[in-house]
Amino acid sequence: MALVRLEIDGRRVTAEAGRTILEVARENGISIPTLCHDDRLEPFASCYLCVVRVSGARTLLPSCATKVSAGMIVETTNEEIRRARRAALELLLSDHYADCVGPCQLSCPAGIDIQGYIGLTALGKYREAVALIKEKNPLPAICGRVCTRPCETTGCRRNLLDEPVGIDYIKRYVSDLELAERDWPRPAAAPPNGRKMAVVGAGPAGLSCAYYLALDGYHVDILEALPEPGGMLRYGIPEYRLPKDVLDLEIGQILGLGATLSTNTVLGRDYSITSLKEGGYDAIFLGIGAWGSSKLRVPDEDAPGVLAGIDFLREVGLGQQAGLHGRVLVFGGGNTAIDCARSALRLGAEEVRLLYRRTRAEMPANEMEIVEARHEGVAMDYLTAPVRVVRGPSGRVEAVECVRMELGPPDASGRPSPRPVPGSEFRVGADFVLVAIGQSARVEELIDGRIPGFLPPGERLDLSRWKTIQADDHTGETSIEGVFSGGDVVTGAATVIEAIAAGRRAAYAMDRYARFGHAEAEPEEFLSKKDAFHSVTVADLRSRESSPRISMPVLLPELRRRTFAEVERGLSPEDAWRESLRCMECGCSALFTCDLRRYATEYGAKVGTYLGQAREHLLDRTHPLIELDSNKCILCGRCVRICDEVVGIGAFGFVRRGFDAVVKPALGGSLLDTDCVSCGLCIDTCPTGAIAERNTLTKSGPWRTTHVESVCSYCGAGCRIGYEVFGGTLVEASRSIHATAADGNYCGKGRFGYATLRPGERLSRAAVKEGGEQRDESVDGALRRAAERLRPPEGGRSGDEVAVFVSPRLSNEEIYLAQKLARVALGTCNVTSFAHLVNRELWAPEVRSTASSADLSRAEAVLVVNSRLDEEHFVAGLAANQAIRSGGRLVYVGPERNRTALFAAAHVRCREGGQLFAVAGILGEYARLEPAALRSHPGLAAWIEETGIDQLAGLAGVPRADLAEAGRILAESSRKVVVFNKDYRGLRRAGDERLFAEAAEALGGSLLALREKTNMQGLLDMGVGPSGLPGSAGADIAGLLRDHRIKTVVILGEDPFGSPGYPPDLIEGLRAAELLVVGDLFPTATTAAADIVLPLSSTAESSGTMTNQEGRILAFDRAVAPVAGLETWEILCSLAAHLGHGVAMAYGGTGEVSAEIARAVPGYSGAHAAGDPAPEPPGGAAPARIGFDPALAVAEVAPVQTLALDASEARLARWLGESFRQARAALRRA
């Protein structure tokens, strides 16, 4: 390919002609945003996000579809480009009827990820739930009791259906657990950064601010005027709602981060802003609350016995209020009024009466509070307002004269304005009157000059119209440099959660201020909201099944009088779990992966710019694994094209035109009605959440997962995949970050197969058989027992009587350790796998791949024999599709008329078992065109010559013309790959593998030998071959079994007893053994028969390497902990140690095993890290000389079926089968 020079963003780069600007920019580390491009697909140019400026072009050009040319000058970012990209995003967003996060999160002043923590609660991941909450709110146990819950009242979509989810109950539940469990890991503060901050006021705003500052490594001094920290939490909210010990525990956690607290330290008395500034603080936070009380403004309000509600509550909090008795009147309708009323009741009042000037409907107090107050016996008079206080003879209050009110038109606050009904005055007797009609900040008295030098010279603290501190909504900055503020002192009396949020935001801004000299608001992420389009309806809900809200158990009302014990008792574990299931997961599952959202944030796109009509669709959940939400679809067509271009299925299509265009399953119905093979590539390519996996977890977040590079262990392709992990749970599988266009696909097993590896059905404990019965045992206990019985001479076995069987799904490290265990600790060379005991005539271990999957995708001609690419070797099939798409031609040799045959340029449809002759015939025809071809294969040449092409055609059962056509295609092409399946199940001939391998050589091409099991090649490379270990060459383990000479059997990961069709004489041989030790992932027929059962770890639960069918060594990392606690390698090493060979098998980890393999096995010497970008197949050892022996070639062999030897794939197949059966049935019913 010719090279061209061009300039991108001022950099001179060299690129292959024919590449696109997007590709060349990426190669040079310049990222250009795109939504419609996927490097596996042809350029489409539909989203127009990738536009760039090319000198000389009239308009911006889509870089995904514009090829580079010599001398081109490209600019990938400037204001014009940013504007165009933002416009494209805004247009897409104007038709993106979707919620990024649930409305609950949006309505939470602190923006807590509610869906996330409820999901974690549903999974029993309480620690993670609390940690998630604490990212936004450090006082969850407090909030779980006193929050006004906008998330429930206005946020929760369940309001459309039945009742809101008990979000706050769940929060309280998990945070109470945290408070109770002292050993839970809690976030640790960053190392001290040497800077210090002052926080004035230990109320919710100050505490929250201090928490986040302390986490960032600041030294924080909290200064509190009252004797104890907590502010309104302690001195405004009564104990029966918020027990002081809960308060103490949560505040204790904040102080535990290293913040210091000084109580009884009063601003304006003990210190001033000036002194703080002089004290060297980097920034100061003022969170001094709103402790002023509004007056009734009626005559004789100052009579003894008339108290401000807020003062009354504070005194109760200080333990000072005694002597309350008789009739208590409370004026007001907010939470403070209710708190006063209920406290008064508990303090001994005979009668408590709450008077409110509007009706119950307008009362601002929480509904729940009102209900409970009434239960407790608080009387309520609505439409009643005080006119004057009536003094008794002593001058004390004796009564209040009131007047009846009626409601007029709405006032500024939107509530109906009450007005007195003339002549309706009446008198209510009272011993005490509590006034709770409003609170105010008391800042003015600090700064009006009464306190000399309170503010530094020249500084002024700006106040609002309501005499609160004026502070920036996002940063909390006040008019004084370096002084921030938040909470009630800014907002006036508001909610705890608002104060907490303000404290956190200020902490963020103060940190930036301290570090960079200017305050900065928390970054704002783009969030799409359905409500921006119009009010949502029941049709938007993911489910319409009603379920009742769990009610909070409360202390019996009759028990509440005279006690401040907490009224709400908290949910039971069962109820908390059940309530968490009620969450309908309104937020998008692609929240953390969505490219549309990422770019919208990056480009500052606004959803409202082009708002107009948006398309609305119903969710399609007919497919059991894949969920389609067309509302989120941006018509990029990636799913349509990946299914068509890469998979060759075309399960998706565009329907309708223009604005109404929509991507749907091809026939407009369900995906189940299409040819969809459920590979999941559409999920992976979708840039939004329009196509999502239907996760099998009870709740699936979304959470910000950790990506772990791994390898799919279901077949010989050994596809690189990623595991997405959160909180120790495998959330889903994803595309490897090192995936390339040519190499990086997977099939449904890779995408969905992780689900069956989850704990549910796995072996989670070891077992030991005693008296014919298996009983559970600890892994270590089982290993001890195993060692006792295995150890020679006690075990009494010579090496000949021991056999170890290893699954080709284990990693190289595990296999290596297994054979080492056998050799070193068990003294036997009988190490093999059950697959190796059968089909011996067919075994040709020297035949191995010389081609990679990428070679196949680039081939000009592909000869496929003995393999059904479309069904059994999906990923190889994709590579072959790619070759065909780029003009390559496929020759298919086989009796079946399947999809592979359909796409073949030539189908040599031989009779069953005739493949060998067909390939030989093709080779003969090829040699007629390329006479040199067979020169270095004299034996083969002679046989073909001798037999004659006509006869080969006859033996193959095909017209000779077909062979000639195939030969011609191969002769016309240069890059050639021969593909065949070493584990082919059809009728075979003994010499076919060797013939195919020689054919590949003779054609001047390479060979891709497909394998059914992931690590079949690794098994051979680790020395576990058909005839056991080197050194036991010729040992006939099958023969030993048949002769019942094997007395001790160790099986790792195979299930011969559960394999129908496995030769009965071999099974008998196993049954004749006296000791059967079996390790597996799942309970199987073989583990059931075992004397000792060991639970092994899966690929997700360990690290290591696999050698796939290409011969590529693929490393993987541990994603989650093993179900039973130990990784397979640890089990093997531990067993060795119990057998007295601890030293020989002492490893610090699988890395050390890999290193030993690298020293011992040729071709394994490279370093292998998980997700190594492009480990090529080991090239060191040239494949052994292939010897095709015509004498053996023609023998017919029907291979023994061996698939079920492994339980994991069977289980996956069963699970998938059942899911699809149910989905189809549901679809038929609908």
Partner 1 sequence: MRVLVGLGTCGIAAGAEATYAALAEKLPGLGNGLRVEKTGCVGMCYREPVVEVRADDGSRWQYGAVTADRVDRLLAEHVVGGTPVAEWLVWASDGSGAERAFLDRQVRIVLRNCGLIDPEDIGQYLEVGGYEALRRVVEQNDPAAVIRAITDSGLRGRGGAGFPTGVKWRFAREAAGTHKYIICNADEGDPGAFMDRSVLESDPHSVLEGMAIAGFAIGAADGYVYVRAEYPKAIERLSIALAQAEERGFLGEGIFGSGFGFRIKLKEGAGAFVCGEETALIASIEGRRGMPRSRPPFPAEKGLWGQPTSINNVETLANVPWIVRNGPGAYSSLGTAESKGTKVFAMAGKVRRGGLVEVPMGITIREIVRDVCGGIKEGGRFKAVQMGGPSGGCIPAELENTTIDYESIAKTGAIMGSGGLVVMDETTCMVDVARFFLEFTQRESCGKCTFCRVGTKRMLEILTRITEGRGQEGDIERLEALAELVKNDSLCGLGQTAPNPVLTTLRYFRGEYEAHINNRKCPAHHCLPLLTYLITDVCNGCTLCVRVCPSGAITGEKKQVHLIDPAVCIRCDECYRVCRFDAIVRD
Please report, as ranges, the residues that interact with partner 1 according to CB under 8 A.
Answer: 43-49, 51, 58-60, 62, 65-67, 84, 87-88, 91-92, 94-95, 610, 612-613, 634-635, 637, 653-654, 656-661
Amino acid at residue number 396: R
**At how many degrees (to 10) do helices 949-956 and 960-972 cross?**
110
What minimum distance in Å lies between the beta carbon of 539 and partner 1? Answer: 22
Minimum CB distance to partner 1 smaller for 612 or for 772: 612
Instruction: Identify the three-state secondary structure at position 1223.
Output: helix
CB 115, CB 210: distance < 8 Å: no
What minimum distance in Å lies between the beta carbon of 885 and partner 1? Answer: 11
H helices of 1022-1111, in order, are 1037-1042, 1064-1071, 1085-1089
What minimum distance in Å lies between the beta carbon of 645 and partner 1? Answer: 12
What minimum distance in Å lies between the beta carbon of 94 and partner 1? Answer: 6
3-state secondary structure 367-435: HHHHHHHHHHCCEEECCEEEEEEEECCCCCEEEEEEEEEEEEEECCCCCEEEEECCCCCEEEECCEEEE
What minimum distance in Å lies between the beta carbon of 597 and partner 1? Answer: 16
What minimum distance in Å lies between the beta carbon of 689 and partner 1? Answer: 18
Minimum CB distance to partner 1 smaller for 60 or for 837: 60
What minimum distance in Å lies between the beta carbon of 659 and partner 1? Answer: 4
> Measured between alpha carbons, how far is 629 from 616 in angstroms, rounded to an integer?
10
What minimum distance in Å lies between the beta carbon of 3 and partner 1? Answer: 20
Minimum CB distance to partner 1 smaller for 4 or for 110: 4
Q: What angle do CA 463, 466, 469 make, to 5 degrees?
A: 30
Containing 115, the helix (H) or strand (E) segment is helix 114-122
Q: Tell me the two tokens of residue 353.
A: 């009466």
Minimum CB distance to partner 1 smaller for 58 or for 1229: 58
Please report where in the chains the tokens 């501190």 appear, as a residue.
469
73-75 and 3-8 as β-strands: parallel, antiparallel, unpaired?
parallel
Amino acid at residue number 937: H
Give the number of residues written for the chain. Answer: 1230
Minimum CB distance to partner 1 smaller for 47 or for 790: 47
Minimum CB distance to partner 1 smaller for 426 or for 659: 659
H helices of 216-294, in order, are 232-235, 244-256, 273-278
In the chain, the N- to C-terminal Cα span, in Å, equals: 55
Amino acid at residue number 1093: V
What is the per-residue DSSP string for 819-870? HHIIIIIS----EE-HHHHS-GGG--TT----S-HHHHHT-SEEEEES--TT
What minimum distance in Å lies between the beta carbon of 51 and partner 1? Answer: 6
- Residues 1024, 1029, 1030, 1035, CA torsion sign: negative
Minimum CB distance to partner 1 smaller for 611 or for 1227: 611
What minimum distance in Å lies between the beta carbon of 79 and partner 1? Answer: 14
What minimum distance in Å lies between the beta carbon of 84 and partner 1? Answer: 6
What is the per-residue DSSP string for 319-336? T------SEEEEE--SHH
What minimum distance in Å lies between the beta carbon of 66 and partner 1? Answer: 8
Q: Residue 499 to residues 225, 441, 854: CA-CA distances in angstroms?
A: 18, 14, 58
Minimum CB distance to partner 1 smaller for 44 or for 926: 44
Minimum CB distance to partner 1 smaller for 604 or for 1039: 604
What minimum distance in Å lies between the beta carbon of 47 and partner 1? Answer: 6
What minimum distance in Å lies between the beta carbon of 650 and partner 1? Answer: 10
DSSP secondary structure code for residue 307 in this structure: E
Containing 943, the helix (H) or strand (E) segment is helix 938-947
What minimum distance in Å lies between the beta carbon of 594 and partner 1? Answer: 17
Minimum CB distance to partner 1 smaller for 2 or for 538: 2
Burial of 518 (0-12, 13-18, 19+ CB in 10 A): exposed
Residues contacting 954, CB < 8 A, separation 6+: none
Instruction: Identify the three-state secondary structure at position 961.
Output: helix
What minimum distance in Å lies between the beta carbon of 635 and partner 1? Answer: 6
Q: Tell me the helix, strand and coil percentages in the chain, rounded to 5.
A: 35, 15, 50
Minimum CB distance to partner 1 smaller for 184 or for 659: 659
Minimum CB distance to partner 1 smaller for 426 or for 654: 654
Q: Residue 193 to residues 197, 216, 511: CA-CA distances in angstroms?
A: 11, 8, 11
Minimum CB distance to partner 1 smaller for 65 or for 697: 65
799-825: b (≥16 Cβ within 10 Å) or e = bbbbbbbbbbbbbbbbbbbbbbbbbeb
> Measured between alpha carbons, how far is 688 from 96 in angstroms, rounded to an integer?
10
Q: Report the candidate in 242, 165, 174 with the shortest Cα–Cα distance to residue 203.
A: 242
Instruction: Identify the three-state secondary structure at position 946.
Output: helix
Minimum CB distance to partner 1 smaller for 62 or for 144: 62
652-655 and 283-286 as β-strands: parallel, antiparallel, unpaired?
unpaired
What minimum distance in Å lies between the beta carbon of 966 and partner 1? Answer: 21
Minimum CB distance to partner 1 smaller for 36 or for 215: 36
Minimum CB distance to partner 1 smaller for 92 or for 380: 92
Minimum CB distance to partner 1 smaller for 63 or for 1103: 63
What minimum distance in Å lies between the beta carbon of 883 and partner 1? Answer: 16
Dihedrals phi, psi of 912, to nearest 5 degrees: -60, 130
Minimum CB distance to partner 1 smaller for 56 or for 280: 56
